[in-house]
Amino acid sequence: MTPTPPSHESELDYGDIPALLIPLSDCASHSSELPLNKKRSVKVPSSSLTKLNLPDKIGSAKAQEWKPTSSEILALKLKPSAEISYYSLGSSVDSYIVLQTVDEDECYVNYLHCQFISDPDRDSVVLYNASTSAFRAQNLDRQSPVQNVLPTNNRAFDCGSWYLELGKGLEFLLRVLPRDPELYTDLLVPCEAESIRVEVPIGHKSLYRLYPKPIDKNAPSLGRRAEKIGKIVAAKVCRKPDIQWAVLKGLKHHSVVQMLDFDGSHLTIFLEYIEGIDLSKLVDKDLISQVPEPDVYRIWKDISSALEYIHRFYFYF
């Protein structure tokens, strides 16, 4: 006898997936079908969408006529593992989920467009907007008013169905699923950070190091050396890193340290590490500088040129 083909109902364990992104627009469908997202995709039976309480109509003008056209729908899953504590979406091929737009009138997809952070203590995920576009969200279960998620802001999504627009043309149904607590016992982490943690991405486990240095709970930021992919970098843990990230990501100057990476889930900015001297140690007991005059001139020239560059091209403080 020919064995019965396995059904996707049995293959898809909702208790092991905190959230699903179901595409509602052409652009979102195109992204979900990219070969780079194959490992992140899962086929959801259309019949199971009734289980997910999917509304007949979505609160978006472009997606109001959306209905399943086949027995299966390709969705993107945010599935946890020991190596993943957050999910990055963007145009980078190294993103957890790669996003691409199709038409010119659709939004620009940033290298790091957004991040989803799973809350281990609740049935919810947090969305951080790292892009230059405003996002829109609406709770479909309660039909609440549409809310905007502006760049550098974040928004928590509780268990249920949400309409989510990650910029013009990128429309998804975000389904935050209830979890089985037993599946997450080993993945729980403290709500309050107790140490600087350099995250370990897939494939780079041996190239990162952990630095268990307590965080000063009163300091606005804390900088330490770290090793990332075999290179010494400066890992700066900030209480409010959004402003620093927004400023540093666009600065390109020989006297301004370069931002190499940003980890929203651990409030950490990775910067270019430059070995140097501590100027405070070049002052004697009478507070008189012991720095040679040529070095004073060079230091002043570097600082003033960097400040002039920032004020002229980017920001005014």
pLDDT of residue 230: 56
Residue 244 CA to residue 45 CA, distance in Å, equals 44
Give yes or no: residues 296 and 235 share one domain: yes
Here the CATH number for the domain that contains residue 270 is 1.10.510.10
pLDDT of residue 265: 60
Residue 162, domain extent: 19-181
Give yes or no: residues 30 and 128 share one domain: yes
Residue 301 CA to residue 295 CA, distance in Å, equals 10
Give yes or no: residues 37 and 175 share one domain: yes
Residue 148 CA to residue 146 CA, distance in Å, equals 7
Helix (H) or strand (E) holding 154: strand 154-158
pLDDT of residue 135: 93
Give yes or no: residues 248 and 138 share one domain: no
pLDDT of residue 48: 55
Distance of CA 238 to the CA centre of its chain: 16
**DSSP three-state, residue 216:** coil
Q: Is residue 3 part of a domain?
A: no
DSSP letters for 217-262: TT-SEEEEEEEETTEEEEEEEESSHHHHHHHHTT---TTSPPEEEE
Residue 252 CA to residue 232 CA, distance in Å, equals 20
Give yes or no: residues 177 and 212 share one domain: no
Tokens of 207: 């190239």
Q: Is residue 177 part of a domain?
A: yes
Number of separate domains in the chain: 2
Tokens of 63: 């997606």
Here the CATH number for the domain that contains residue 177 is 2.60.200.20
Q: Is residue 256 part of a domain?
A: yes
Q: What is the DSSP letter of 81?
A: B
- Average pLDDT of the chain is 69
H helices of 139-238, in order, are: none
- Would residue 71 be called left, alpha or beta, if left means φ above 0 and alpha means ψ between -120 and 50 degrees? alpha
Residue 235 CA to residue 223 CA, distance in Å, equals 6
Q: What is the DSSP letter of 133?
A: S
Please, which residues bridge with residue 156 across strands?
Answer: 126
pLDDT of residue 289: 76
Q: Which residue has the tokens 């993945």?
A: 187
pLDDT of residue 231: 64
Give yes or no: residues 149 and 250 share one domain: no
Give yes or no: residues 225 and 157 share one domain: no
Q: Is residue 13 part of a domain?
A: no
Name the stretches of the chain with pLDDT < 70: 1-17, 45-71, 80-85, 119-122, 179-231, 238-243, 262-267, 276-277, 313-317
CA 275, 277, 280, 282: dihedral to nearest 10 degrees?
180
Residue 289 CA to residue 227 CA, distance in Å, equals 34
pLDDT of residue 44: 74
Edge-first strand order for the sheet with 154-158 is: 97-98, 86-90, 114-119, 124-129, 154-158
Q: Is residue 192 part of a domain?
A: no
Q: Is residue 92 part of a domain?
A: yes
pLDDT of residue 191: 40
Give yes or no: residues 41 and 157 share one domain: yes
Give yes or no: residues 68 and 143 share one domain: yes
Residue 81 CA to residue 257 CA, distance in Å, equals 33
Give yes or no: residues 34 and 172 share one domain: yes
Give yes or no: residues 35 and 136 share one domain: yes
Q: Is residue 187 part of a domain?
A: no
Give yes or no: residues 223 and 176 share one domain: no
pLDDT of residue 111: 87
